[in-house]
Structure 1
């Protein structure tokens, strides 16, 4: 779905599909250089990271295996609840492996901080983060993000995997959701 298809639901378009693809290509070149000796296990965080993971893995010139986890600290609202739940765990054993968490967005940092600790406790050789978006002004916990696409304002965004109440995930870009949609 194109951003123009829901223009009345968006306060502002932040990034087009083309801008996102350019940034993902740039991140992939860095990942390839850093992991030339041993490709990482890409761990996508469902559901939001599906689009980022798909485009990142297709752009990578490494044969990097994938696994998925679903963790949640959101309900149907617009703010993090701070409570993390595992909805789907990894299938892969992480012992001795290099892991690259692929995220759509880092908001408060609470969920990702928990996830980093969880994956490190499983014996991974290393655990790094690749995130398309980060809201620095919303951070409650500072997260070291090795591969970052864009810093964005502390507004509720949708598109490219990001949703509001399971809507807007399939937008071909990222926009700020207009308050009238969720008020």
Structure 2
């Protein structure tokens, strides 16, 4: 399938900017302060969920001024399963998790089924604690369980088709510095 780059450019040109780059920076500063207060001194292992978590990690990790290890994982959910560890692992966690404090970084908590399954897997592998941090918490009631939230959330954003700051539109615009909503969605 060939991508029409004009469509990709048009999507950005017509998009609604919901969160400016400056507001994203302020949210990252808040996240860093909250994560530091909770996890500094715990020698955390930070797992970045690819591909969406890449931008968040690149912008957040330099704000965490304490010792930590960084690794990545890449998983998606099989089909539309609503529970359990039905993950398609592209890159599995490779570090020994026994007794470790783990922080999972991802771009967005939408419905949360994949994040929930990743957290369950890390706990089954022996992590002492598993925390989650997302830049965006999408406002809606379709979460993996009622009231689901990441331990650390930067911004609550409307239930629209979002891109920027790690979230993509057809594989593009993860690099956009703000958070945008596709026109009409």
Q: What is the TM-score normalised by the length of structure 1?
A: 0.85
**TM-fit CA distance, 1:84:** 3.4
Task: Tell me if 1:171 matches 2:176.
Answer: yes
Please tell me whether the aligned partners of residues 137 and 155 of structure 2 are also in contact (alpha carbons under 8 angstroms).
yes
Aligned to 2:136: 133
Aligned to 2:158: 153
**TM-fit CA distance, 1:136:** 3.1
Please tell me whether the aligned partners of residues 40 and 67 of structure 2 are also in contact (alpha carbons under 8 angstroms).
no
Task: Tell me if 1:57 matches 2:66.
Answer: no
Distance 1:155 1:5 in 2: 17
Paired residue secondary structure (2:99)? coil
Please identify, of 18-27 and 94-103, the stretch whose mean Cα deviation from structure 2 is larger. Answer: 18-27
Q: Structure 1: state its 5+ residue gaps.
A: 75-79
Q: What is the TM-score normalised by the length of structure 2?
A: 0.84
Paired residue secondary structure (2:136)? strand
Distance 2:18 2:109 in 1: 16
Please tell me whether the aligned partners of residues 71 and 86 of structure 1 are also in contact (alpha carbons under 8 angstroms).
yes
Task: Tell me if 1:85 matches 2:88.
Answer: yes
Q: Structure 2: state its 5+ residue gaps.
A: 1-8
Give the paired residue count.
Answer: 171
Distance 1:5 1:30 in 2: 37
Please tell me whether the aligned partners of residues 109 and 150 of structure 2 are also in contact (alpha carbons under 8 angstroms).
no
Distance 1:119 1:144 in 2: 18
Distance 1:68 1:93 in 2: 13
Tell me which of 99, 103, 106 is aligned to 1:96. 99
Please identify, of 130-139 and 160-169, the stretch whose mean Cα deviation from structure 2 is larger. Answer: 130-139
Paired residue secondary structure (1:137)? coil
Aligned to 1:77: none
Please tell me whether the aligned partners of residues 138 and 154 of structure 1 are also in contact (alpha carbons under 8 angstroms).
no
Aligned to 1:28: 32
Distance 2:12 2:113 in 1: 31
List, as ranges, runs of 4+ consecutive aligned residues in structure 1 with deviation greater than 2 Å. Answer: 4-9, 80-84
Distance 1:174 1:104 in 2: 11
**TM-fit CA distance, 1:86:** 1.2
Please tell me whether the aligned partners of residues 57 and 64 of structure 1 are also in contact (alpha carbons under 8 angstroms).
no
